[in-house]
């Protein structure tokens, strides 16, 4: 309880908590003068102290927690400030795009390892672990593959060989370098009764393609932790329950599934998944690792202090859920700066979804993450990150 209380104090760092008791006064009290506007003493109106103003990776270390970011490899090559921040703040990295199939094998049989290798080298230079993203996803597939399946020149038997070969080739190349893989990404539908998404993999390899993919990846690197990863499963809902049932079944069959990735793409216009701790706990009880893998919190621009406060609370709700879960190994943001975030391109009018602004300066969301990591008690150092 003590731990929960302290973490929740951090989660509420966005604003004040007022407790109003029953009124015993007979006459209305004279209205008090409004307090003077708070001085803007620092970024986010919050002056960090020396014990909290430390890089996230340093603050997360005593919890045994990896703190990661998606990396835009073009920015990594061209933007010094971006490179320095990425190295300073994070102990884990995920390729935003360059480990996806269309990027790795744009032409059949010809692998384009360069960008992914650059990211791996960067991570190794900076003592960062790598979360591999992603082996099988219905988006960002190479045209030769989707067109071949569509026109029938690649039949089901051949697709099975191609998929097995892809997983084996990629996982072997990064064996011992990539800590964990999103083996299948976004496998379920979003409706009230989620079912396996109708992808080319589901259609041609059958519903057990997930188990097959996990086994192939495990054979290629028995030390890598193998994850399923999806969005809109942060709280308890039909989709996260579908994952829970699948995970339970795969574990029972001794299929090598080691973790579930909760993407954590939040949007201030929708309810916050405040039951994330209970949701992660049920996967934890199955013996699985858990991780927030793609956290960002978008909203409609322009920014105001209400939205900033909502964003602080949203980031901190997910971070707190992770800290409360013994085997939650990693908290990763989907880009750390608004300068390169995917959000404005995909959601018209929305943005500002990351912890650093376009000039790579810390926002209140960043200060909130620092606060929670700094004040949360009872660190669980045995997460295994
Ligand atoms: O590769 C082309 C390039 O050839 C072309 O010149 C350029 C021109 O715009 O576009 C490039 O493609 C872009 C691609 O990323 C690779 O950089 C697309 O336009 C762009 O829309 C695409 O977006 C990515 C998106 O996945 C694709 O689905 C985002 O950057 C990336 O953040 C996003 O990441 C996903 C995760 O993988 C899974 N979970 C959801 C998350 C957000 O959608």
pLDDT in tens, 113-147: 999 999 999 999 999 999 999 999 999 999 999 99
- How far is it, in rounded angstroms, from Cα 12 to Cα 345? 31
Average pLDDT estimate for 373-384: 81
Closest ligand 1 atom to Cα of 133: 37
Q: Could you tell me if 351 and 301 are in contact, meaning their C-beta atoms sit under 8 angstroms apart?
A: yes
Q: What does the mean pLDDT of the chain come to?
A: 91
Atom 34 of ligand 1: nearest residue by CA position: 96
pLDDT in tens, 144-164: 999 999 999 999 999 999 999
Q: What is the pLDDT of residue 51?
A: 82
What is the 337 CA–ligand 1 centroid distance (Å)? 16
Three-state secondary-structure class, residue 35: coil
Given the residues 96, 102, 186, 289, the one annotated as active site? 186
Long-range contacts of 240-246 (CB under 8 A, 24+ apart): 240/279, 242/188, 242/194, 242/195, 243/188, 243/283, 244/282, 244/283, 244/286, 246/210
Tokens representing 249 are 């079944």
Beta strands in 220-264 (DSSP E): 225-230, 259-262
Please state, in angstroms and as integers, the Cα–Cα distance from residue 364 to each residue in 19, 63, 298, 307, 310, following that order.
24, 22, 14, 11, 10
> What is the best residue among 132, 139, 146, 342 to mutate for testing ligand 1's pocket, by most ligand atoms within 8 Å of CB?
342
- Residue for token digits 């391109």? 345
Closest ligand 1 atom to Cα of 185: 38
Q: What is the pLDDT of residue 38?
A: 53
Is the sign of the CA dihedral 317, 323, 327, 328 positive or negative? positive
Closest ligand 1 atom to Cα of 346: 21
Q: What is the pLDDT of residue 34?
A: 56
- How far is it, in rounded angstroms, from Cα 188 to Cα 288? 19
Say if residue 226's pLDDT is above 80. Answer: yes
Q: Give the closest residue to 13 by CA, choosing from 371, 315, 272, 375.
A: 371
Catalytic status, residue 249: no
User: What domains can you pick out in the chain, each with its CATH number?
Assistant: 55-375 (3.20.20.80)
The binding-site residues of ligand 1, defined as CB within 6 angstroms of any ligand atom, are 96-97, 139-140, 185, 231, 263, 294, 342, 345
Helix axis angle for 209-220 and 238-252, nearest 10°, is 60
Cβ neighbours for 346, distance < 8 A, ≥ 6 positions apart: none
What is the 115 CA–ligand 1 centroid distance (Å)? 15
Which residues, in sequence order, are bridge partners of residue 297?
266
Say if residue 104's pLDDT is above 90. Answer: yes
Confidence grade of residue 10 (pLDDT, cut at 50, 70, 90): very low
Catalytic status, residue 186: yes
Three-state secondary-structure class, residue 68: strand
**CA angle (220, 226, 228) in 5-degree steps:** 130
Say if residue 223's pLDDT is above 80. Answer: yes
Bridge-based pairing of strands 259-262 and 350-351 is unpaired
What is the 233 CA–ligand 1 centroid distance (Å)? 22
Whole-model pTM? 0.90
Say if residue 24's pLDDT is above 60. Answer: no
pLDDT in tens, 320-351: 999 999 999 999 999 999 999 999 999 999 99
Q: What is the pLDDT of residue 3?
A: 42
Say if residue 383's pLDDT is above 90. Answer: no
Direct distance between the N- and C-terminal alpha carbons of the chain, in angstroms, rounded to an integer: 25
Cβ neighbours for 131, distance < 8 A, ≥ 6 positions apart: 68, 92, 93, 94, 178, 179, 180, 181, 182, 291, 293, 330, 332
Q: What is the pLDDT of residue 4?
A: 40
Closest ligand 1 atom to Cα of 335: 32
Tokens representing 99 are 């480990």
């Amino acid at each position: 309880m003590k731990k929960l209380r302290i973490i929740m104090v951090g989660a509420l760092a966005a604003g004040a908590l007022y407790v109003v008791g029953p009124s015993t006064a007979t006459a209305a009290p004279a209205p008090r003068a409004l307090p003077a506007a708070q001085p803007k003493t620092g970024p986010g109106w919050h002056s960090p102290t020396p014990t909290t103003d430390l890089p996230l990776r340093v603050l997360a270390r005593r919890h045994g927690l990896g703190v990661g970011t998606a990396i835009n490899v073009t920015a990594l090559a061209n933007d010094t400030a971006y490179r320095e921040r990425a190295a300073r703040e994070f102990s884990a990295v995920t390729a935003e795009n360059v480990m996806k199939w269309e990027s790795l094998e744009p032409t059949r049989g010809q692998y384009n390892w360069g960008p992914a290798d650059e990211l791996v080298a960067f991570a190794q230079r900076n003592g960062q672990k790598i979360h591999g993203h992603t082996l099988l996803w219905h988006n960002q597939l190479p045209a030769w593959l989707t067109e071949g399946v569509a026109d029938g020149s690649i039949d089901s038997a051949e697709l099975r060989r191609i998929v097995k070969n892809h997983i084996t080739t990629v996982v072997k190349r990064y064996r011992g370098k990539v800590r964990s893989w999103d083996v299948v990404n976004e496998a379920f539908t979003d409706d009230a009764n989620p079912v396996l998404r109708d992808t080319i993999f589901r259609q041609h390899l059958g519903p057990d393609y997930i188990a097959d993919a996990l086994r192939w990846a495990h054979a290629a690197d028995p030390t890598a932790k193998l994850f399923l990863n999806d969005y809109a499963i942060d709280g308890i809902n039909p989709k996260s329950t579908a994952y829970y049932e699948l995970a339970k079944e795969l574990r029972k069959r001794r299929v090598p599934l080691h973790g579930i990735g909760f993407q954590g793409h939040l949007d201030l216009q929708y309810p916050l998944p405040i039951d994330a701790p209970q949701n992660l706990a049920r996967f934890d009880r199955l013996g699985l690792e858990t991780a927030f893998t793609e956290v960002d919190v978008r909203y409609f621009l322009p920014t105001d202090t209400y939205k900033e406060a909502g964003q602080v609370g949203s980031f901190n709700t997910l971070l707190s859920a992770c800290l409360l879960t013994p085997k939650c190994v990693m908290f990763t943001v989907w880009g750390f700066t608004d300068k390169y975030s995917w959000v404005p391109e995909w959601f018209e009018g929305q943005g500002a979804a990351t912890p650093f602004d376009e000039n790579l300066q810390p926002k209140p969301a960043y200060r909130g993450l620092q606060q929670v990591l700094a004040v949360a008690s009872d660190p669980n150092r045995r997460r295994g990150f």
